[in-house]
Amino acid sequence: MGEGAPDEHTSAVPLLEPRDGIPPVTATAGDLSRVAARFAAASGPVALDAERASGYRYGQRAYLVQLRRAGAGTALVDPVGCPDLTTLGEALAGAEWVLHAANQDLPCLREIGMMPRRLFDTELAGRLAGFERVGLGALVERLLGFTLEKGHAAVDWSKRPLPEPWLRYAALDVELLVDLRDALAEELLRQGKFDWALEEFEALVVAPPAPARPDPWRRTSGIHRVRSRRQLAAIRSLWEARDQVARERDVAPGRIVPDSALVAAAIGGPSSATELMEIDGYTGRGARRYAGTFAAALHAAARLPESALPRPVPVGDGPPPTNRWADRDPVAAARLSKARAALAAIADDHNLPVENLLSPELVRRLAWTPPAPATESAVAAALTEGGARAWQVRLTTRVLVDALAVDDSRASTTPAAIPSGDPCCEG
C-alpha cells in the first residue's frame, strides 16, 4: 500500500515546537478581525483543525479552532470568546481548506459560521491512496518524517484558561497539515486517483447537515442484552431522562450515568430509588443527585400500555439486518454475497478500502431492492441517487449488474453466509 511513499521505518524526528512559537489565543472581536484580515491577505491552502470536549460536555461544539496559512502563520481562535466566526470563514472563502477527518470537524465549524467552498481531507486522501494507517500522526510520520505528540487529544478543551502545553499541541496539529496535503496529492496523482479524491472532497463540501438520528437511545452500548419490549421501554425512558439532565447541565451523558448502568437498571427492574442506587453505575454523586429522576423514568416505563412499548427492531424503509436475509429472502442474500465478493476484488485491484469504493449501506439497499430491470443505466442511476460519486459508478456498475441478476434459479438453496463484520454488509 502506498508504494511511492517514503520508508515508514525511517527514523522520524519529534516535532516539539511550532516554528513560529505558540500564538496568543484570539478571544475578542477586535483580535478576530485582525486575524481574519491577516489570513485573507495570505496565500495558498489553509490548514484547519477544531478541538471539542467530547466526554466532558454535552454535544460536539468547538472549543478551539486552529488555522495556519503561508504568509499568516498560525492562529488559535477561542469560539467561547468569539462564538460567531462568520467573518473568518468569509476571509477564507477563496482558499482550499485542509482538514484531517473533515467529517468530524465540519459540523462544529458549521455551527460557528465556517464552511469551506473547497476542501482537501488528508485522512480520506490517505484511505484512497491505500495507506493502512491514516491517523494524522501516522501519515505525518510516514510521509514527512516527523512524529506528533498526541497526549492532549482527549482533554477537556472547555477548560479556561487553556494550559500552554495544550496550546502547543493544538498549534502543532496544523503545523504540517499543508505539507501533508502536498505529499498526499503527489501520491494520489502517481496512482491516478487524484480526480477521485476531488470528487470525494466536493461531496463533503456540498453534503447537507446530517439529519437527527431516529431513536438515538437504541445506540446505548450493551442494549443487545435487553430481551423484552418492556426492558427496551425502560432503556428509552432512562436514556431520555439522562439526556435531559445532561443537556441542562452541559455535561456528557456518560459522566452522569454510564450506558452499562442504564442497561443494568432496565434488566434488574428496581422498584425504588433506593434499589436503583444499589446498581453499579448509580453510586456516583451525579447519579445519586438525580436518583428520583431515574426512578421516576423507570416507573413511567413500567406503566406504559403494551401498545406504547418500542419494537425490538425499529420499522424503517431500509433492509433488515443481514443475518436475517438468508431466511427472509435467500435471493437477496445471494445477490449481496456476489456483490460483496465483486466489490472486494475491485477494491483490492485499486488498493483502497472496500468501504471507500462504495457505501456499505448503498450496497445493502441495492441488493435488497434492486431496480427492475437491473440494467447498467438503471443501476448507475440508483448508485448516483444513493450518493455514489462518478468514479465509483464507473468502477462498480457493471459488476453490480451481474450480481443483481441472481434469481431463484441461480441462487443456492443454502445461500452463502454473509459475515456480520464485512464492511459491505454492516453499517
- Lowest mean pLDDT segment, chosen from 35-44, 95-104, 283-292, 342-351: 283-292
Query: What pLDDT score does 421 carry?
Result: 44
Q: Which of 170, 105, 179 is nearest to 140 (CA)?
A: 179
pLDDT in tens, 185-235: 999 999 999 999 999 999 999 999 988 889 999 999 999 999 899 999 999
Mean pLDDT of the chain: 92
Tens-digit pLDDT profile for residues 116-150:
999 999 999 999 999 999 999 999 999 999 999 87
> What does the pLDDT read at residue 10?
61
Is the pLDDT reported for residue 317 higher than 70?
no
| pLDDT score, position 314 | 64
Q: Are 355 and 423 in contact (CB under 8 A)?
A: yes
The identity of residue 129, as a single letter, is A
- Share of residues in the chain with pLDDT > 70 (%): 92
SS3 7: coil
Q: In the predicted model, is pLDDT for residue 93 greater than 80?
A: yes
Peptide bond into 320 cis (omega under 30): no
* Helices 376-385 + 360-368 axis angle, to 10: 130
Contact 287, 260 (CB under 8 A): no
Residue with the three cell numbers 485522512 = 123
Alpha helices for 161-222 (secondary structure H): 164-175, 177-191, 194-206
153 vs 349: CA distance, rounded Å? 35
> What pTM value is reported for the model?
0.89
Q: Provide the sign of the torsion angle of the four alpha carbons 121, 127, 131, 134, taken in this order.
A: positive
Average pLDDT of span 284-312 = 92
Q: Does the pLDDT value for residue 19 go beyond 90?
A: yes
Question: Within 10 A of 374 (CB to CB), how many other CB atoms are there?
Answer: 18
Phi and psi at 41, nearest 5°, equal -80, -10
Secondary structure (3-state) at 412:
coil
Which pLDDT does position 410 carry in this prediction? 52
Domains of the chain: 13-206 (3.30.420.10), 216-308 (1.10.150.80), 322-404 (1.10.150.80)
Rounded to an integer, the average pLDDT of 350-366 is 97
CB 363, CB 388: distance < 8 Å: no
Task: Specify the amino acid at residue 348.
Answer: D
Predicted local confidence at residue 69, as pLDDT: 98
For 415-427, the pLDDT digits (tens) are: 445 544 444 334 3
Alpha helices in 155-290 (DSSP H): 164-175, 177-191, 194-206, 229-249, 253-256, 259-268, 273-276, 285-289
Per-residue exposure over 115-154, b if at least 16 CB sit within 10 Å of its own CB, e if not: ebeebbbbbbbbbbbbbeebebbbbbbbbbbbbbeeebee
pLDDT at 26: 98
